[in-house]
């Protein structure tokens, strides 16, 4: 992926040479190199192992609890936004990070756009595969969002009334 | 009134800057129409038939004199000199230029107002009843919790792209004037014997094309758990609500599909993870917010005012206005006044001119504590008026066209903007409202008829709440022409009910006759001072149908 933004300590960077390849549908021989597979294929591949080969992506209907047994070795989880107006991945991200303790990379894929990046960041995503036809450099401006968060989020679990 | 602190202020100004940038990018072609759509909706901006419409939030229907003056200035400088109060206690401006919206929002931010989440598939403006804090039958003031909910739901990152819009209302009075049964979440706040504040939580109510009354999922929830419980409901809805069909996407459809027990179980399971966590409200936070809603410095007045009594006796028109438009107040010597925005053909329901807004702002300072409320019936409330000043206020209100003595009467029509403005509407609402108001212009007769609510929506989305009008009128499209379907028996409040369709729909020209026949039937069967809804409940729909559809009767006879 070459249109990727990733959070780094104290900021974010545009990653031009990200090695992961997103596999939307598995037809024929998969390409070489680290892959992000759809959940059914990924589960098939890892049925007999807990070493968690390759990364996995979940659609909004997929249950995040499927992945818990592989957490210690899983290299990457991606959550798909089939449309930027489909907000289910925000709740999946919340559950992965807050309830089930996923600490590895959590990547937003699909219809990933500048004006939603700050919400994704708040919900615990730390890498963002910006939609291919959009400028990742421009999208960087969307990561910061607002300085005030009334409620709480994955990266700020205390609501404002506990910080006020 | 709640006053912004540095956080609240920073948020609204940052939001203005953010939207200004988004508008510029849209106008420069960097954002597509599709990408811009939810951004503008979440800033209150709709595309209507003729122009953009901006919906300004009036949180739980409360605003100050200065805020009202700002709305007047926006009407004057950016619109055509008027605005429209909605059934969700907000204000809509109908003739807005996109490029000017950031400046309008900035002007609003300067008086601690905004248009955030007045539209879009997110948590909308939190509503409560217009008499919160002053109603004689109030148990507790619901506004502190309404404000706490407003803050929590504002730009809450997880819940900005829900399957569909999400409306929350809270009420804490003997009469439910906030229609909590018609909301995605309805909250009823009450006290137990030890004085502990508790919440009854109702979910899955709503109007629209599938009108459903909400069902209770929780009784006796201690108030500290308000946010965690609402979060649990929202997370279950966000994950499992339907997204394949916009007409099946409201939470009511999910609740219906799962059944209330299974839905409640899901919520309860989710809540177990959240309760007693950081979202639990603290006494400190409650006190911080509640301190903004302490009662003003009421004067010590006699419960009865001699001069007021004399005026009542001398001026029957004033007495009639007092009987309909003045509500009892908690504090002796005070009353709450409802200024009717339904003068008849002079103006559509809910429409108020800049001049009227400025007059209301002035009266709120002259006769009260500078506070104004908007009722979901689209009228304006001055909550704290000494009884001794009622006559003076009535005279001024009449001069400004805000003195109609018709609150709760047949001509106090709730109506959406309808096909004159709205891109969604199947049919016009305003001309229907005005034709009915013109037909029933005898105030004595209207007063004799007593309480009758008549609600008009221009389409199934039901912004005019037609299902819960005693008489409901719904605009429908038949082969490209406008028709109107009539329902009877709807009601709001504790005895909420959805109206029943009486038969085939009518043309616009027929509607006033039909309403006249319905009222004629009521008068014929009415026993003494019986209310319309009670007569209807006693005799059923049939006598009304017989009078409304006589030809059908002849054929079948």
How far is Cα of residue B35 from the mean position of the Cα atoms in its chain? 30
Q: Please tell me if residue A84 touches chain B, with a CB cutoff of 8 Å.
A: yes
pLDDT greater at residue B208 or residue B76: B76
CB atoms within 10 A of CB B513: 13
The answer to whether the Cβ–Cβ distance between B157 and A85 falls below 8 Å is: no
The answer to whether the Cβ–Cβ distance between A90 and B22 falls below 8 Å is: no
Residue B54 CA to residue B314 CA, distance in Å, equals: 45
Distance between first and last Cα of chain A: 41
Contact B523, B450 (CB under 8 A): no
Q: Note the pLDDT tens digit of each residue in B441-499.
A: 999 999 999 999 999 999 998 999 999 999 999 999 998 899 999 999 999 888 889 99
The answer to whether the Cβ–Cβ distance between A91 and B243 falls below 8 Å is: no
The answer to whether the Cβ–Cβ distance between A90 and B159 falls below 8 Å is: yes
The answer to whether the Cβ–Cβ distance between B157 and A153 falls below 8 Å is: yes
pLDDT at B49: 85
The answer to whether the Cβ–Cβ distance between A150 and B154 falls below 8 Å is: yes
CB atoms within 10 A of CB B111: 16
Structural domains of chain B sorted by starting position, each given as residue range(s) with its CATH number in brackets: 6-110 (3.90.480.20), 143-291 (3.30.413.10), 306-399 (3.90.480.20), 414-556 (3.30.413.10)
The continuous run of DSSP H or E covering B261 comes out as helix B260-274
Relative to beta strand A55-58, strand A76-81 is parallel
Which residue from A146, A151, A157 is facing B152, i.e. has the nearest CB? A151
Residue B241 CA to residue B451 CA, distance in Å, equals: 38
pLDDT at B209: 83
CB atoms within 10 A of CB B495: 11
Q: Answer yes or no: is pLDDT of B50 > 70.
A: yes
Q: Note the pLDDT tens digit of each residue in A47-61.
A: 887 777 899 999 999
- Which residues of chain A have a CB within 8 Å of the CB of B288? 161, 164
Compute CA distances B251 → B255, B286, B439, whole Å. Answer: 6, 29, 40
Question: Measuring CA to CA, which residue among B355, B333, B369, B454 is closest to residue B402?
Answer: B355
pTM over 0.90: yes
Distance from CA of B160 to the nearest CA of A (A): 7
Instruction: Tell me what percent of the residues of chain B surpass a pLDDT of 70.
Output: 99
- Which residues of chain B have a CB within 8 Å of the CB of A160? 7, 151
Instruction: Tell me what percent of the residues of chain A surpass a pLDDT of 70.
Output: 100
Q: Answer yes or no: is pLDDT of B555 > 60.
A: no
Give mean pLDDT, residues B76-90: 94
The answer to whether the Cβ–Cβ distance between B288 and A92 falls below 8 Å is: no
Question: Measuring CA to CA, which residue among B386, B400, B388, B291 is closest to residue B339?
Answer: B400
CB atoms within 10 A of CB B503: 14
Give mean pLDDT, residues B1-8: 95
Distance from CA of B288 to the nearest CA of A (A): 9
- Which residues of chain A have a CB within 8 Å of the CB of B281? 161
Contact B147, B181 (CB under 8 A): no
CB atoms within 10 A of CB B193: 5
10-49 of A, contacting B, C-beta below 8 A: none
Compute CA distances B540 → B409, B499, B504, B557, whole Å. Answer: 21, 12, 18, 20
Q: What is the DSSP string of B328-367?
A: EBSSTTEEEEEEPS--STTS-TTEEEHHHHHHHHHHHHHH
Instruction: Tell me what percent of the residues of chain B surpass a pLDDT of 90.
Output: 90
Residue B428 φ then ψ, to 5°: -75, 150
The answer to whether the Cβ–Cβ distance between B158 and A162 falls below 8 Å is: no
Structural domain boundaries of chain A? 4-162
Residue A105 CA to residue A107 CA, distance in Å, equals: 6
pLDDT at B305: 84
The answer to whether the Cβ–Cβ distance between B160 and A87 falls below 8 Å is: yes
Whole-number average pLDDT of chain B: 95
- Which residues of chain A have a CB within 8 Å of the CB of B148? 161
Name the band, by pLDDT with cuts 50, 70 and 90, for residue B553.
very low
The answer to whether the Cβ–Cβ distance between A149 and B155 falls below 8 Å is: yes
Name the band, by pLDDT with cuts 50, 70 and 90, for residue B240.
very high
pLDDT at B159: 98
Contact B289, B4 (CB under 8 A): no
- Which residues of chain B have a CB within 8 Å of the CB of A94? 158, 235
How many CB pairs below 8 Å do chains A and B form together?
102
Distance from CA of B184 to the nearest CA of A (A): 18
Which residue from A87, A116, A157 is facing B278, i.e. has the nearest CB? A157
pLDDT at B556: 47
CB atoms within 10 A of CB B92: 25
Distance from CA of A13 to the nearest CA of B (A): 21
Q: Please tell me if residue A149 touches chain B, with a CB cutoff of 8 Å.
A: yes
Which residue does chain A place closest to B238, by CA atoms?
A88
- Which residues of chain B have a CB within 8 Å of the CB of A159? 152, 227, 278-279
Contact A87, B162 (CB under 8 A): yes
Q: Answer yes or no: is pLDDT of B428 > 90.
A: yes
Distance from CA of B308 to the nearest CA of A (A): 46
Q: What is the DSSP string of B60-110?
A: GGEEEHHHHHHHHHHHHHHSSSEEEE-TTS-EEEEEE-GGGHHHHHHHHHH
Distance from CA of B25 to the nearest CA of A (A): 11
Q: Note the pLDDT tens digit of each residue in A95-145.
A: 999 999 999 999 999 999 999 999 999 999 999 999 999 999 999 999 999
Which residue from A116, A146, A153 is facing B14, i.e. has the nearest CB? A146
Which residue from A157, A159, A162 is facing B152, i.e. has the nearest CB? A159
Q: Please tell me if residue A81 touches chain B, with a CB cutoff of 8 Å.
A: no
pLDDT at B551: 65
Which residue from B10, B278, B279 is facing A148, i.e. has the nearest CB? B10
pLDDT at B20: 98
How far is Cα of residue B486 from the mean position of the Cα atoms in its chain? 21
Which residue from A84, A123, A150 is facing B151, i.e. has the nearest CB? A150
Question: Measuring CA to CA, which residue among B269, B270, B238 is closest to residue B254?
Answer: B238
Q: What is the DSSP string of chain A?
A: --SEEEEETTEEEEES----EE-SS--SSPPSS-EEEEHHHHHHHTTT-SS--SEEEE-TTS-GGGGGGGTTT--EEEEEESSTT--HHHHHHHIIIIIS---SEEEEEES--GGGHHHHHHTT--EEE--TTS-HHHHGGGSS--S--SS--SS--S-GGGT-
The architecture that CATH gives domain A4-162 is 3-Layer(aba) Sandwich (3.40)
- Which residues of chain A have a CB within 8 Å of the CB of B10? 147-148
Q: Which of these ranges, A106-110, B118-122, B375-379, B448-452, has the smallest mean pLDDT?
A: B375-379
The answer to whether the Cβ–Cβ distance between B39 and A115 falls below 8 Å is: yes
pLDDT at B79: 96
């Amino acid at each position: 992926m070459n249109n990727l933004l990733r959070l780094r300590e104290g900021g974010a960077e545009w990653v031009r040479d990200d090695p992961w390849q997103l596999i939307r549908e598995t037809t024929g021989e998969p390409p070489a190199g680290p892959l992000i597979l759809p959940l059914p294929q990924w589960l098939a591949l890892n049925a007999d192992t807990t070493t968690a080969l390759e990364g996995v992506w979940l659609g909004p209907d997929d249950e995040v609890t499927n992945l818990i047994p592989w957490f210690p070795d899983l290299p990457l989880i991606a959550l798909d936004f089939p449309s930027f107006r489909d907000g289910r991945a925000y709740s999946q991200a919340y559950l992965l990070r807050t309830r089930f303790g996923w600490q590895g990379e959590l990547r937003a894929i699909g219809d990933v756009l500048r004006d939603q990046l700050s919400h994704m960041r708040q919900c615990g995503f730390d890498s963002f595969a910006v939609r291919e036809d959009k400028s990742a450099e421009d999208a960087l401006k969307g990561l910061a969002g607002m300085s005030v968060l009334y409620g709480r989020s994955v990266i700020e679990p205390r609501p404002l009334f506990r910080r006020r | 009134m709640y006053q912004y602190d540095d956080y609240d202020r920073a948020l609204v100004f940052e939001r203005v800057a953010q939207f200004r940038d988004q508008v510029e990018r849209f106008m420069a072609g960097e954002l597509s129409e599709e990408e811009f759509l939810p951004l503008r909706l979440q800033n209150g901006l709709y595309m209507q038939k003729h122009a953009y419409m901006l919906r300004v939030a009036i949180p739980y229907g409360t605003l100050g004199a200065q805020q009202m003056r700002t709305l007047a200035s926006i009407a004057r400088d950016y619109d055509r000199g008027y605005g429209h109060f909605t059934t969700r206690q907000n204000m809509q401006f109908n003739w807005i230029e996109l490029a000017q919206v950031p400046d309008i929002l900035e002007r609003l931010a300067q008086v601690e107002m905004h248009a955030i989440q007045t539209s879009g598939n997110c948590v909308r403006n939190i509503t409560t009843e217009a008499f919160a804090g002053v109603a004689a039958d109030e148990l507790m003031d619901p506004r502190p919790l309404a404000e706490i909910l407003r803050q929590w739901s504002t730009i809450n990152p997880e819940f900005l792209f829900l399957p569909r819009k999400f409306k929350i209302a809270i009420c804490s009075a003997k009469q439910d004037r906030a229609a909590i049964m018609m909301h995605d979440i309805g909250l009823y706040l009450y006290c137990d014997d030890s004085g502990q504040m508790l919440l009854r939580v109702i979910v899955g109510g709503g109007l629209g094309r599938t009108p459903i009354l909400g069902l209770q999922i929780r009784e006796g929830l201690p108030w500290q758990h308000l946010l965690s419980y609402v979060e649990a409901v929202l997370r279950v809805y966000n994950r499992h609500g339907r997204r394949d069909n916009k007409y099946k996407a409201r939470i009511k459809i999910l609740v219906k599909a799962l059944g209330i027990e299974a839905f409640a179980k899901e919520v309860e399971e989710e809540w177990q993870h959240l309760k007693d966590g950081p979202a639990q409200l603290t006494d400190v936070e409650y006190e911080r917010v509640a301190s903004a809603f302490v009662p003003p410095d009421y004067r010590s007045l006699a419960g009865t005012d001699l001069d007021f009594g004399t005026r009542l006796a001398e001026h029957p028109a004033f007495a009639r206005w007092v009987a309909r438009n003045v509500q009892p107040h908690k504090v002796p010597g005070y009353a709450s006044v409802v200024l009717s925005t339904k003068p008849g053909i002079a103006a559509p329901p809910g429409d108020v001119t800049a001049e009227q807004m400025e007059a209301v702002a002035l009266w709120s300072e002259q006769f009260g504590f500078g506070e104004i409320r908007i009722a979901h019936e689209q009228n304006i409330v001055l909550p704290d008026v000494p009884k001794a000043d009622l006559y003076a206020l009535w005279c001024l209100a009449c001069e400004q066209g805000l003195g109609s003595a018709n609150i709760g009467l047949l001509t106090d029509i709730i109506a959406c903007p309808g096909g004159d403005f709205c891109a969604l509407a199947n049919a016009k609402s305003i001309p229907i409202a005005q034709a009915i108001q013109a037909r029933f212009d005898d105030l004595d007769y209207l007063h004799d008829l007593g309480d009758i609510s008549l609600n008009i929506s221009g389409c199934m989305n039901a912004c005019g709440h037609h299902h819960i009008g005693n008489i409901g009128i719904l605009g429908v499209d038949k082969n490209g022409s406008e028709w109107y379907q009539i329902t009877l028996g709807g009601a709001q409040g504790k005895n909420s009910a959805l109206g029943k369709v009486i038969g085939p729909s009518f043309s616009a020209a027929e509607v006033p006759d039909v309403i006249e026949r319905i009222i004629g039937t009521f008068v014929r069967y009415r026993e003494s001072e019986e209310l319309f809804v009670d007569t209807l409940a006693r005799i059923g729909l049939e006598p009304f149908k017989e009078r409304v559809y006589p030809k059908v009767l002849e054929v079948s006879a």
